[in-house]
Structure 1
Amino acid sequence: MTAHYDEAEVLREVSLTVGAGEVVTLVGRNGAGKTTLLRCVMGLHRRTTGTIRLAGRDLGAVPPHRRARRGLGYVPDDRGIYAGLSVEENLTLPPSKADSAWPLARVYEEFPALAERRRSAGGKLSGGEQQMLALARVLRTGAGVLLCDEPTEGLAPIVVERIGEILREAKRHGTAVLLVEQNLRFATTVADRHYLLDRGRIAESLANDDVREREHELLDYLGL
């Protein structure tokens, strides 16, 4: 897949796969094209060339809302919370059609902080609470594929740990996760493998052991 912003080529012949019950991480410097890749998969940014398939079906002409109905769930880096709606309204607004959709009771059981703030406006939540709400909202739809953009950025360790638990649980139930993540140590606790994106290209495919062995090298490369 190739994608541009105006005349600038942002993604260059990117090819990757994510299987059911698998978490795959995209790692790369700022500006490497990670967010653009997620947006292309979701249909929010037009690819120039290439094919995007979900369960073998070409998504080429399918608009974003229909991709969501087919099982794609997107958690953007800005979380996409409706600031003026309550937590419960944010959770119940998207349709829940798949058998794998989380009922509201389960959301509140897994995210007790959201249960306590169910009547609060989304804009009044802390950053960690907003991230949990963004993730819970996608799980409510029963999405079979999660596209998560920097879900742990700037969050307290206890919230990061909880997000890891939820992603591992989703994986156990067969959900595929494509995760943009700069926190390498967190990534190795949830992911099965990793793609290193460099200037719009897939530079390497890495196993967890590779990341652990080369942690200092990778952190220097990422500027972290």
Structure 2
Amino acid sequence: MLSVEDITARYGEAQVLRGVSLDVAAGEVVTLVGRNGAGKTTLLRCLMGLHRSMAGRIELDGRDITKLAPHKRCRLGLGYVPDDRGIYSTLTVEENLTLPPTTGPDAWSLEKVYETFPVLAERRRQAGTHLSGGEQQMLSVARVLRMGARLLLADEPTEGLAPLLVQQIGEIIRTVKAHGVTVLLIEQNIHFASTVADRHYLISQGRVVESLDNTEVEQRENELLAYLGI
């Protein structure tokens, strides 16, 4: 579904990504694992067209989207959940879900969102500021599905959340996968990543240095935790 070839990216004179290549198949959940500053967020921004100081090639369903504007990528089914969740805090849950336009044939109806995430139906009249961290993350994911995302790019959805809420994020990811949505997410918590993802790319200093399956992660968990500084 997604093919990334030899992506390089800069911030001024500083090179952040150094020839990143990876693939994500339809229906997969794949994580990008690495220390802070490794270039993971920059890679997601490149995929979404939000970081233009880059070179390389990005294909979605075999179509070259490297030079497409972000809104055109959105119409093709890319959805981005940033690390700050990006919800409108003063608007209600339902306003957050209905304000953005639907951008493709795969857009979820409001009824499907509420059926899949009943807590959002219960909170639909509440403002974003009144939601828990886990509920805010759920809303941010539901919003991009409502817009029509087939491939969800998520930046550290569990960051700063208590263990119980981390479990809820895991359920959200498994739920969207069960509905046929593909997910590429940044995740520092390697144990959590192994419970939700099919494969993992280890990124170091702007490069993909390893591709790991869950068996390898389990066998090398202590080594990877030490590497990540956790």
Alignment TM class, shorter chain as reference? over 0.9
Matched residues in 2 for 1:96 and 1:78: separation?
22
Uncovered stretches (5+) of structure 1, i.e. residues with no partner: none
Matched residues in 1 for 2:23 and 2:98: separation?
31
Q: Is the 8 A contact 1:39 1:45 kept in 2?
A: yes
Matched residues in 2 for 1:99 and 1:156: separation?
36
Matched residues in 2 for 1:112 and 1:154: separation?
23
Name the counterpart of 1:107: 113
- The share of aligned pairs that are identical, in percent, is 68
Matched residues in 2 for 1:159 and 1:110: separation?
17
Q: Determine whether 1:53 maps to 2:53.
A: no
Matched residues in 2 for 1:194 and 1:113: separation?
30
TM-score (norm 1): 0.94
Which segment is superposed worse, 46-55 or 65-74? 46-55
Name the counterpart of 1:81: 87
Matched residues in 2 for 1:36 and 1:165: separation?
26
Give the 3 Å change call, closer, same or farther, for CA 47–178 of structure 1 in structure 2.
farther
Q: Is the 8 A contact 2:46 2:54 kept in 1?
A: no
Matched residues in 1 for 2:31 and 2:228: separation?
14
Q: Secondary structure at the match of 1:60?
A: coil
One of 91, 96, 101 as aligned partner of 1:90: 96
Name the counterpart of 1:36: 42
Q: Following TM superposition, by how much is the alpha carbon of 1:206 offset from its aligned partner in structure 2, in angstroms?
A: 0.6
Greater strand percent: which structure? 2
Structure 1 runs of 4+ aligned residues shifted over 6 Å read none
| RCO higher in structure (CA 8 A, sep ≥6) | 1
Cα deviation 1:11-33 (Å, max 9, x = unaligned): 00000111101111100000000
Q: How does 1:1-224 map to 2 (within 5 A)?
A: 1-224=7-230
Amino acid at match of 1:70: L
Matched residues in 1 for 2:62 and 2:180: separation?
16
Amino acid at match of 1:83: S
Cα deviation 1:63-107 (Å, max 9, x = unaligned): 111111110000100100112221111111222354432221222
Matched residues in 1 for 2:120 and 2:162: separation?
16
Q: Following TM superposition, by how much is the alpha carbon of 1:136 offset from its aligned partner in structure 2, in angstroms?
A: 0.9
Matched residues in 2 for 1:141 and 1:179: separation?
19
Matched residues in 1 for 2:33 and 2:166: separation?
17
Q: Following TM superposition, by how much is the alpha carbon of 1:109 offset from its aligned partner in structure 2, in angstroms?
A: 2.7
Matched residues in 2 for 1:175 and 1:130: separation?
19
Q: Is the 8 A contact 1:146 1:178 kept in 2?
A: yes
Q: Is the 8 A contact 1:75 1:134 kept in 2?
A: yes
Amino acid at match of 1:162: Q
Q: Following TM superposition, by how much is the alpha carbon of 1:168 offset from its aligned partner in structure 2, in angstroms?
A: 2.1
Uncovered stretches (5+) of structure 2, i.e. residues with no partner: 1-6
Coordinate RMSD, CA, aligned:
1.5
Matched residues in 2 for 1:24 and 1:52: separation?
16
Matched residues in 1 for 2:192 and 2:92: separation?
30
